[in-house]
Chains A and B, each alone.
Chain A
Amino acid sequence: MADHIEWVALAVFIFFFALVTVMGFLAARWKAGPVSEHLDEWGLGGRQFGTWITWFLVGGDFYTAYTVIAVPALVYAVGAYGFFALPYTVIVYPFVFAVMPILWSRAHANGHVTAADVVHGTYGSRALEFAVAMTGMVATMPYIALQLIGMEVVIKAMGLRGELPLVAAFIILALYTYSSGLRAPALIAFVKDIMIYIVVLVAVVIVPAKLGGYGAVFAAANDAFAAKGGATGLILKPAQMLPYATLALGSALAAFMYPHTLTGIFAAKSADTIRKNAILLPAYTLLLGLIALLGYMAYAANIKVSSPNDVVPMLFKVLFPSWFAGFAFSAIAIGALVPAAVMSIGAAKLFTRNVWKSYVDPNISHAGEAAVAKIASLVVKVGALAFILFLPTQYALDLQLLGGLWILQTFPALVFGLFTRWFRSEGLLLGWATGIGWGSWTAWSNGLKPLATIDLGGVSYVFYVGLAALVLNIAVAAVATVIVGLVSPNRASATAQS
């Protein structure tokens, strides 16, 4: 995009990157505990984060750098349809409020560190535990890779060539995550979120002022979509309404099934911390809604890009002085570090607790768990880096999309057990397998589109595959539970204890 290096922007960028690197390494001493002696310390920051730290941490890992790049890019490309991220990140909070404090209490009472721990604790089924753990790990990998794409986009915007800067940034991230654990992203999240708030608030005030107000911004976008045609526009086409709503609902139900978001939940000090956060976290959603509108501002600013992902960096480069563009790019890059760190920690915990401890070394010590998790976090990050360096970017996007569908299939196993003991682990496992199998196959046969079509009475309905797979998953789980109940009325002994 840029054919020369933007020195001012780069200097600002390097300053902030150095700042968070120092913070990342020093974080090990923050609210210090024995970081290497217990997985709770390395992987959950000692389970002591109060309302504000949790707010910054969950805000930092849920609203990722990739979001800042991809949501405006989608809005730029298709218009209203890209805005589904907004209803998605609104309705997720009533759900968080109602369910996550219960999950936290269950995990806290039993010393559980991962979703798969909770599932094993509830159902006593190693198979179901393994299914949930594998799904979490596999779904997280491409998500980490996406954060790298976000970082790559801003590094390129500053005129840097080659993959070396990205590799260097990632190695630094891997090292301080290794040494400080969850405390590093939690501390860096403060910097990242404050920077992002400044950038977005400045952008949503200054940019429309330069471009003639929001009316002009929407008018410019409207003209551009009218010229472009197809399924684009300022409001949804009738055929887009059901996909829009089902994508929002499915994404909202999936959001807090991911290892990184659950890490933020499990690291909280109390159930009440989570309830307060369900009230306070929507502030980030307001921010996201405004970020999405950057996609329309690009039209008003007459920005033309070959790849929609370049919309946001270009907008900042064109409309702001170089130092502020550098500040914005640092915010986005640091915004990639926080979720990437938490994601790798979440995946590493799953590997340690639900693969290593369950199958390799059941008598592992607490210090041993922390050691395995630290190594696993490095492996996960190197894997994600290799993904970006050696495979086409599109693979990461496709896999991330499938990852959302997969992680949603762990919903019944994780959430239902918090409210009812009616479901049997065999049923939930069969439902999980059916949901993943049918969902993947359907998405695959539609050319990896997240939407499927069904004909009912001559009318065709288009909807989000993941949500349909979840419905199928639940139906299969229920039927199988009834059948298993008939065949063997007595549950396995492990199921009886909580």
Chain B
Amino acid sequence: MWILLLLPFVGLLWVPFYNFTEPSLFGFPFFYWYQLAWVPISSLLIWLVYRSRTPDEAP
């Protein structure tokens, strides 16, 4: 599961993936909405890893 944490690095640091204006969404060029979309996706990925790990302590 921990490998999921690497996906945001791949998705955002390989710039040729997303350095375009089309297709645009709600007026946002692709470059912008693609990177903004990574914000909730990263949260989701971290949450998945969080859920899968065994708790290390009593709260």
Report B19-47 residues with CB < 8 Å from chain A CB. Answer: 19-21, 24, 26-29, 31-32, 35-36, 38-40, 42-43, 45-47
B15 near A97: Cβ-Cβ < 8 Å: no
CA A418 – CA B24 in complex, angstroms?
43
Q: Say yes or no for A278: interface residue by CB 8 A criterion.
A: yes
Q: Which residues of A contact B38 (CB under 8 A)?
A: 87, 90
A214 near B26: Cβ-Cβ < 8 Å: yes
Chain A nearest Cβ from B51, distance in angstroms: 10
A280 near B35: Cβ-Cβ < 8 Å: no
**Interface-forming stretch among A31-39, A182-190, A241-249, A311-319?**
A241-249
B57 near A270: Cβ-Cβ < 8 Å: yes
A94 near B6: Cβ-Cβ < 8 Å: yes
B29 near A282: Cβ-Cβ < 8 Å: no
Closest A residue, CB atoms, query B7: A94
A94 near B35: Cβ-Cβ < 8 Å: no
Please count the residue pairs between chain A and chain B whose beta carbons lie under 8 angstroms apart in the complex.
109
CA A285 – CA B42 in complex, angstroms?
11
Q: Say yes or no for A98: interface residue by CB 8 A criterion.
A: yes
CA A245 – CA B31 in complex, angstroms?
14
Closest A residue, CB atoms, query B51: A279
Chain B nearest Cβ from A55, distance in angstroms: 13
Chain A nearest Cβ from B53, distance in angstroms: 9
Taking a contact as CB atoms closer than 8 A, the residue among B13, B55, B57 that contacts A245 in the complex is: B13
Q: Which residues of A contact B40 (CB under 8 A)?
A: 282, 286
B39 near A282: Cβ-Cβ < 8 Å: yes
Chain A nearest Cβ from B43, distance in angstroms: 5
Closest B residue, CB atoms, query A101: B56
Say yes or no: A87-B19 contact (C-beta < 8 A), given A213-B27, A271-B57. Answer: no
Interface residues of A (CB under 8 A from B): 80, 83, 86-87, 90-91, 93-94, 97-98, 208, 213-218, 234-236, 241-242, 244-245, 248-249, 270-272, 275-276, 278-280, 282-283, 285-286, 289, 293
Apart from A234-B29, A241-B15, what 18 extra A-B contacts exist at CB < 8 Å? A83-B32, A86-B35, A87-B38, A90-B8, A90-B42, A91-B13, A94-B5, A235-B29, A236-B19, A236-B31, A245-B13, A248-B12, A270-B59, A275-B50, A278-B46, A283-B43, A289-B32, A289-B35
